[in-house]
Amino acid sequence: MKSPGHVESVVTDAKLVEQRRGQILKAAVKLFSEKGYYITTVQQIAAKAGVSTGLIYQYFGDKDDVLFLALNRVLETYEREIPRRLEGIEHPVDQLCTGLWAYCSIVDGMREETVLAYRSTKSLRADRRNLIKEKETKTNRLLGECLHACIEQGHMNPVNEYLLVYQYVTFCHAWALKGWAFRGKFTLSDYVSEGIALLVEPFLTAKGRTALDSLRRRTNGFSAERWPKQQPARPRARNN
């Protein structure tokens, strides 16, 4: 009857639903991130969003729905934005590095949300927890495919892909999770460059290394100028 991934709204106007949900989720993400899901009360979310308590229940079935949609948005942003940033990039080494950069910079734009996704998944109802896990896996696969191409095309020596991808993912998440420790020490692009030095470069073949050098030259070492921090373009226009 009720699919776990669906969130009911009493209100029918789709545009309004989108707007109100955004407004409420923004407040919820902030509060959930600061204080945690259980500590945050629905009334607090309402207050922060500048709406009444009852309104929340016009756009979400219950509190769990709010968390679910919040997490969903984060993961969907990853899933949508990473491929967008890889568009037009052909070389697997370029793709992998750009993928890492993209993931980190998206994380950077959604630090609170990322922390939330990390910490609060288990507060979800069991069926939805799995939905979220699947989405996470899908995102991981994006980096996994880049890595696999590198190896297959001889730019990288064979490695335990499965574990290495996992290291990539935690590396990207860490920018949000341990941000308090990192942000004093690195800029985002330094962080990514260092990550590539640790987790990509050592495994490259000569061929692969050439590609990386070329990329570095072209990007001035992943400087922020070339790869500016970029807000994930939210509701993009049609003909973009």
**Site for DNA contains 40 (CB under 7 A):** yes
Query: Is the distance from CB of 45 to CB of 32 less than 8 angstroms?
Result: no
Which does residue 197 touch among DNA, a second copy, none (CB within 5 to 8 A, set by kind)?
Answer: a second copy
Select from 36-44, 56-64, 106-114, 222-230 the region that touches a second copy (CB under 8 A): 36-44
Select from 78-86, 89-97, 141-149, 155-163 the region that touches a second copy (CB under 8 A): 155-163
Among 5, 18, 34, 43, binds DNA (CB under 7 A): 43
Separation in Å, CA 67 to CA 27, 218, 235: 11, 41, 21
Helix 92-109 with 126-152: angle, nearest 10 deg: 150
Which does residue 20 touch among a second copy, DNA, none (CB within 5 to 8 A, set by kind)?
Answer: DNA
Among 41, 52, 170, 214, binds a second copy (CB under 8 A): 170
Q: Comparing C-alpha atoms, which of 116, 111, 165 is closest to residue 138?
A: 165
Burial class (CB in 10 A: 0-12, 13-18, 19+), 197: exposed
Among 17, 89, 149, 174, binds a second copy (CB under 8 A): 174
**Site for a second copy contains 16 (CB under 8 A):** no
Query: Is the distance from CB of 63 to CB of 87 less than 8 angstroms?
Result: no
Q: Comparing C-alpha atoms, which of 4, 227, 6 is closest to residue 104?
A: 227
Residue 67 structure tokens: 């968390």
- What's 70-136 look like in SS3? HHHHHHHHHHHHHHHHHCCCCCHHHHHHHHHHHHHHHHHHCHHHHHHHHHHHHHCCHHHHHHHHHHH
**Site for a second copy contains 67 (CB under 8 A):** no
Binding footprint of DNA, residue count (CB under 7 A): 22
Among 3, 12, 160, 239, binds DNA (CB under 7 A): 12
| Per-residue binding letters, 96-135, with a second copy (x by CB under 8 A) | -----------------------x--xx------------
**Site for DNA contains 54 (CB under 7 A):** yes
Among 22, 58, 84, 145, binds DNA (CB under 7 A): 58
Closest distance to DNA from the beta carbon of 39 (Å): 6
Beta carbon nearer to a second copy, 86 or 195: 195
